[in-house]
Amino acid sequence: MKFLDEYRDGELVKELGRRIAAAATRDWTIMEVCGGQTHTILKTGLEGLLPGNVQLVHGPGCPVCVTPLELIDAAVEIALKPGAVFTSFGDMLRVPGSRLSLFDARARGADVRIVYSPLDAVELARRMPEREVVFFAVGFETTAPANAMAVWQAARTGVSNFSILTAHVLVPPAMEAVLASPECRVQAFLAPGHVCTVDGYEQYEAVAERYGVPVVVTGFEPVDLMEGLLAAVRQLEDGRAEVENRYARAVKREGNQEARRIVAEVFETSSRKWRGIGAIPNSGLKLRPAYARFDALKRFGARTGEVAEPEQCQAGRVLQGLLKPTACAAFGTHCTPDHPLGAPMVSSEGACAAYYLYGGRDE
Amino acid sequence: MCLAVPGRVMEVEGAEPAFLRGKVDFGGVLKEVAFPFTPQVKPGEYVLVHAGFALQVVDEAEARKTLDDLKQLGMLDDEPEGPA
Ligand code: SF4
């Protein structure tokens, strides 16, 4: 495939590894924020091509992992209501709630369906006017335009039996939360390319300046990731802390204006709790009052009380790059993809699942 | 979840920009995609698709430039090979 194969060239990836080794004269710790990038790194064994003094830590960029337990419980509660059709991206179904996952709810007779796009959920609602169709609106900036557009189109075309359960999160406040932790070891970031495709990278300039960290916007293929790492190491060695775009084929400084416009029309920023991490100010999106009638929580009067996390699960520390998954006592024993204790073991972007599936370099 | 995949636009239909739709070819697999965020897109161009929406038209000039830069560094001799 064009725009994929040329960025997967094995020789080029190795050569970039050699350049990184030549450039790095000191110990550096770099965080890739996005869980999709974590999976590419582990799946293709990129860590094995890096010199020992360049350490990668994996960040909080897994929307499935950070969706609060109470919202999973609310999703299950809504899905079990008579007449409800609960739709979601496939990743959310196996995430354990405090009692049930959506998958368990389906086994108990709930109508839970996987959709590929939120527009499919709107279409379902149009075809089944006697049912209430709910979409689990999970995701970062990348997914927000699609979900906002689904709500906007439902409003525009008079589809009133559609609503969303909103669990949207934003990357820059999460990066600041990572940096603000007294235990933080991160010296540079690879910024998530597709979040920046939508939102651009202006907002990272303040982060780079305030905390003195290089931020390199990076794509998702092995060549992209190694190039991003090389750029980050060069900045660290030179003592620079700039925002650098190494994914120019997909990212403009201002992002995609049309996409940003629809997000701003439908959503506003709000404080949001991140599973395992806690509340982060201005780190989420909620429906604006003009679209509040599409809020599934209100429509179904679902509960969102605090619930306790399983004690053994260290997901919060894993998501902040403070702990490698393999250092969690439950990893691979009490917690496996078939019997997960926490969301990072379930999601296709979760660091625990990546280590379980592909193995990883020890510290 | 933030994965967006490049594909080649086959057709674009619709009058109102917010409702533009069409087919995109992902290496032989055709999928229905919405184009409200790339309303200028034309058949033959490549788009990055996520959750059924095109998020951006792939900038071919920038893509070529990145590969040319790598070539100049002596990292890429001629045409790239297939997947590793
Ligand atoms: S291995 Fe399992 S229990 Fe440990 S942090 Fe990861 S998800 Fe939680």
Q: Domain span at residue B30?
A: 1-39+53-79
Per the domain annotation, does B47 fall within a domain? no
Name the phi and psi angles at B19, rounded to 5. -115, 15
Contact call for A149 and B27, based on CB within 8 A = no
**pLDDT (tens digit, 0 to 9) for every residue of chain A, 363 residues total?**
788 888 888 888 999 999 999 999 999 999 999 988 998 999 999 999 999 999 999 998 888 889 989 999 999 999 999 999 999 999 899 898 888 999 999 999 999 999 999 999 999 999 999 999 999 999 999 999 999 999 999 999 999 999 999 999 999 999 999 999 899 999 999 999 999 999 999 999 999 999 999 999 999 999 999 999 999 999 999 999 999 999 999 999 999 999 999 999 999 999 999 988 889 999 999 999 999 999 999 999 988 777 777 788 899 899 888 899 999 999 999 999 988 888 899 888 899 999 999 886 554
**Positions of CATH 3.40.50.11740 in chain A:** 65-170+255-300
* CB neighbour burial string for A98-136, b if at least 16 within 10 angstroms, e if fewer: eebbbbbbbeeebbbbebebbbbbbbbbeeeeeebbbbb
B48 within some domain: no
Structural domains counted in chain B: 1
Q: Do A89 and B46 touch (CB under 8 A)?
A: no
- Can you tell me the distance from the alpha carbon of A73 to that of A307, in angstroms, rounded to the nearest whole number? 9
* B34 and A118 Cβ atoms separated by less than 8 Å: no
Q: Are A296 and A280 in contact (CB under 8 A)?
A: no
B37: three-class secondary structure by DSSP: coil
Decide: A150 and B51 in contact? Cβ < 8 Å: no
> Does residue B34 lie in a domain region?
yes
| Element (DSSP H or E) covering residue A337 | none
- The pLDDT tens digits for B39-61 are 999 999 999 999 999 999 999 88
For residue B65, being part of any structural domain is answered with yes
Say if ligand 1 is within 6 A of residue A312 CB.
yes
Find residue B49's DSSP bridge partners.
B5, B54
B45, with CB counted inside 10 A (0-12, 13-18, 19+), is middle
Angle at A165 between CA A161 and CA A169, to 5 degrees: 145
> Distance from B12 to chain A by nearest Cα, in Å?
17
**What class is the A5-61+174-245 domain?**
alpha beta
A256 CB neighbours in chain B (<8 A) are 37-38, 55-56
Instruction: Tell me whether strands A162-169 and B5-13 are parallel, antiparallel or unpaired.
Output: unpaired
User: Shortest CB distance from B84 goes to which of A8, A140, A147?
Assistant: A8
CB A208 within 8 A of CB A181: no
To test the ligand 1 pocket, which listed residue (A331, A339, A355) has its Cβ within 8 A of the most ligand atoms?
A: A331
Q: Is residue B84 part of a domain?
A: no
- Chain A environment of B48 (Cβ under 8 Å): 194, 197, 250
Atom 3 of ligand 1, nearest CA residue: A313
Q: Which of A312, A317, A349 to mutate to test the pocket of ligand 1 (most atoms within 8 A of CB)?
A: A312
pTM, two decimal places: 0.92
- The fold for domain A65-170+255-300 equals Rossmann fold (3.40.50)
Pocket of ligand 1 contains residue A345 by CB under 6 Å: yes
Test A64 with B1 for CB contact under 8 angstroms: yes
d(CA A37, CA A14): 18
Per DSSP, helices labelled H in A212-324 are 222-238, 257-266, 296-300, 315-319
- CATH number of the domain that residue B3 is part of: 2.30.30.140
Is B57 inside a domain boundary?
A: yes
Beta bridge partners of A54: A28
Strands A188-192 and A84-88: unpaired
Which of A117, A147, A249 is the closest to B59 by Cβ? A249
